[in-house]
Structure 1
Amino acid sequence: MVAPRRAAMRGASPSLIAGVRTALTVVSLALAGVLAALGVASAHMARRVVTPELRRPDTRILSLDTSAQTITLARTPDTELPGRYGLFTSGTTDYIKLGSVLSQDDVSVKRKLLTHIGTTAQLSPDASFSGWYYDSAEELHLPFSPELIGTGVGPCPAWLFPAGDADVWVIQVHGRGTTRAECLRAVPVFHALGITSLLVSYRNDGEAPRSRAGTYALGATEWRDVDAAVGFARRRGAKRILLMGWSMGGAIALQVSLNSAHRDAIVGLILESPVIDWRIVLEYQAHVQGVPAAVSGLAIGALQSEWATPITRAGSAIPFDRLDVVARAAELRHPILILHSDDDGFVPSDASHDLVVARPDLVDLKVFEVARHTKLWNYDQERWSASIRDWVDRLGFSAAREDEDS
């Protein structure tokens, strides 16, 4: 017996059959085009995630008043923030410090200049707003020495700021798309506590050597360079070591805490605006940028697949499960202080809250508001510094407090 649908087609006119075939071909081509577009978009997103990029212009300079020493910027969620910040520029000056907001309207923000700009200065309109504030180690006016730390990819530059009796050290790990200068803001806090600071670099960050692929592994390989810094600190006399990670540096510090052969010397972690689960971060950023969920899902899937590495240009598959510290919370053994803003705008604080729920015995979360990603010090330096001091003192890691007690 002939199937009814086939029988109907046999009785159809040749023109109808041709029309159906044409429609099916068009639909097939359209579907193939959609899939191809999704593939291209997801590959582009995946490559951007792992490709090192120091900074991109994100701020527009509208005007500069050298007589009043003020600068007017296009208004953004960052440029309108209270506090002290930095601005990467191009022209006759490459970096300037910004002070308080003097006035603002719907489209612009006028701020005080804390770096003197001469009347002949010429600045490009394109700039990058920054929370670094300090741009060089010399600006802290504290004794320091440049160091090289031997790692599997070669010697990684570091800054060493000695303090106290060098028994307690903090190793600071900067975030994605930045350098160790990002960490300079925290050095005076630790120096006052008698804690030696080591600010490190790691593979592919623009200062340390490149890996063979030259791409980020989001903490999955970078932690080995920081672990080498832990060994360096121990050889220099450190007996107790704190890890402080900023943004992606938080993800790296957590991997050191979980995987290091020096775990017995690590006594705690301080995480500033940290990445604790990369999938949450990437999905959030895709949503903010209007990237369809299908594209971000394909990008994450490609990044964690070994077969897709030629497409993503990652050196190897990204182990997102291993980098998800909420899922691995039971493995944690060191006290953790998290400083995170619920208004971060780049790395959502969801996973930080989740980690407190998972390990309330180890994790202490200080929630900020208004402050944006890695700009908590800039927005509220007093509370930020006090949070670190109180936590360090409470756990007995302050060399200065030990000296007082003795």
Structure 2
Amino acid sequence: MNLSRRAGSVGAGLVLAGVGIGLVLGAVGAVGSRLARVARSVVTPSPRAADLEILGIDTAAQTIRISRSPDTELPGRYGIFSNGTINYLKIGVVLRSDDETVTRKLLTHVGHDETIGQWGAFSGWYFETPDEIHVPYDDVEIPTPVGPAPAWLVPSVQGAAHDETWAVVVHGRGTNRSETVRALPVLREAGITSLLVSYRSDGVAPDSPTGLQGLGTTEWPDIEAAIEFALEHGARRVVLMGWSMGGAIVLQTLVNTDHRDRIAGVILDSPVVEWRTVLEFQAKAIGVPSIAARATMGMLETPWVSRAARAGEGIRFDDLDMVARASELREPILILHSDDDGYVPVDASRALAEERDDLVTMPRFAVARHTKLWNYDEARWNTAIRDWLAAQGLAQETD
């Protein structure tokens, strides 16, 4: 994990910070209860980590100086969440940097009388709502098993009445549907209507019965409900698109849906294709032994421990391993994943691409970090999606 734990899409690094401590304490005390609390932390929705230091703002020049990390030094457009009178800042080009700081152009105007907190969270969101890209949309509710889940329904440039292909677009952990607004321009231009959905316990949709998340195992029925909504409102085929943990949710939906014959393809950005690798990677990054991560995953798989952790009946990590389950896939898949992700290692995505090279297209991105491929190179990201949609016969020609 780097110095700037961005508006997390997975949150595994944050929750695993307690794993090693919990296991050590458990060894000398009430092992069962302590380990259950550690296990529960893995599935608890994680807040955005405000660990980016905001060192100064020049209101005359409209620039911001922030702490340097592999994320904050990236070229492109990003966002910063703060706790001042302005709680979200858009930032642009890197103007200068040194070993510890980066100065970037402010794209959100900050006045002399406005305050910015000392600490913030670096984010790839950039847009907060479809309003910001000036496209028509409707607020709708998807009737999920846990209750009505808000979604944004965004028609293509032709209008939803003319669109046979819809995209159900799924955000990652620790974020909400705002993360996915970046995809709207390329999808709209391809003649695709989009549903930007929320799902249980994401802070927008109703909570799960436990208030916890299932890493994809419990969330996929909410995406199934979104597919049914799309089919009931005119879709003939559906593209599933997911970021980070949203990718894991999409893949679980793919292999469990009752409407698989309507799924025309899958687009994944920085996806979690296999959870064990991610959790062990995050454990190592913060100095927690791999054995601690494996022990926690083992507990979450054990029904009685999982119930003690109030995490349900157990998470089957084998079910979440889509490399091992690669033979079950039959839909075309586009994977966009950077070599230097730094949060969700690219290894499982590569392994899936190699195992199913008949289905998976995976253009190489070397430098873009986690869920920031659009921010780093918007043109290339859009082109990769546009070309893939066209190759699958899913893009309509527009006037």
Q: TM-score, normalised by structure 1?
A: 0.89
Alignment of 1:72 onto 2:65: yes
Amino acid at match of 1:156: A
The answer to whether the 8 Å contact 2:36/2:305 transfers is no
| Aligned ranges 1:7-406 → 2 under 5 Å | 34=27, 36=29, 43=36, 45-163=38-156, 164=158, 165-400=162-397
Structure 1 residue 356, shift from structure 2 partner: 1.1
| Change over 3 Å in CA distance of 1:131–1:32 after alignment to 2 | closer
* Distance in structure 2 (CA, Å) of the matches to 1:269 and 1:185: 17
Structure 1 residue 104: Cα displacement: 0.5
Is the contact made by 1:251 and 1:274 (CA closer than 8 Å) also made in structure 2? yes
Moved more, 287-296 or 107-116: 287-296
1:106 Cα deviation (Å)? Answer: 0.8
Number of residues paired by the alignment?
Answer: 372
Q: Greater CA deviation, 33-42 or 152-161?
A: 33-42
Summarize deviations over 1:273-312 as a string: whole Å, max 9, x none: 0001000100000000111122112111111111112443
**1: CA distance between counterparts of 2:288 and 2:263?**
40
Match of 1:264, SS? Answer: helix
Indicate the RMSD between aligned Cα atoms, in angstroms: 1.7
Residue by residue, what CA displacement relative to the aligned partner does 1:225-279 show, whole Å, maximum 9, x if unpaired? 0010000000110011100000000011111111101111110000000001000
**Higher RCO (C-alpha under 8 Å, 6+ residues apart):** 2
* Structure 1 runs not aligned, ≥5 long: 1-30
Mark the CA change 1:347 to 1:141 in structure 2 (over 3 Å): closer, same or farther. Answer: same
TM superposition outliers: structure 1 runs of 4+ over 2 Å = 31-48, 310-313
* Structure label with greater radius of gyration: 1
Q: Which residue of 2 aligns with 1:11?
A: none
Report the AA paired with residue 44 of structure 2.
Answer: T
> Closer, same or farther in 2 for the Cα pair 1:39/1:109, shift >3 Å?
farther
Which moves more between the two structures, 139-148 or 307-316? 307-316
Distance 1:181 1:119 in 2: 28
Structure 2, unaligned runs of 5 or more: 1-23
The CA distance in 2 between the partners of 1:341 and 1:398, in whole Å, is 25
Distance in 2 separating the partners of 1:313 and 1:129: 31
Distance (Å, rounded) in 1 between the aligned partners of 2:186 and 2:326: 29
**C-alpha contact 2:26 2:34 (8 A) present in aligned 1:** no
1:53 shift after superposition: 2.1
The letter for the 1-side match of 2:208 is S
Alpha-carbon separation, structure 2, partners of 1:32 and 1:237: 56
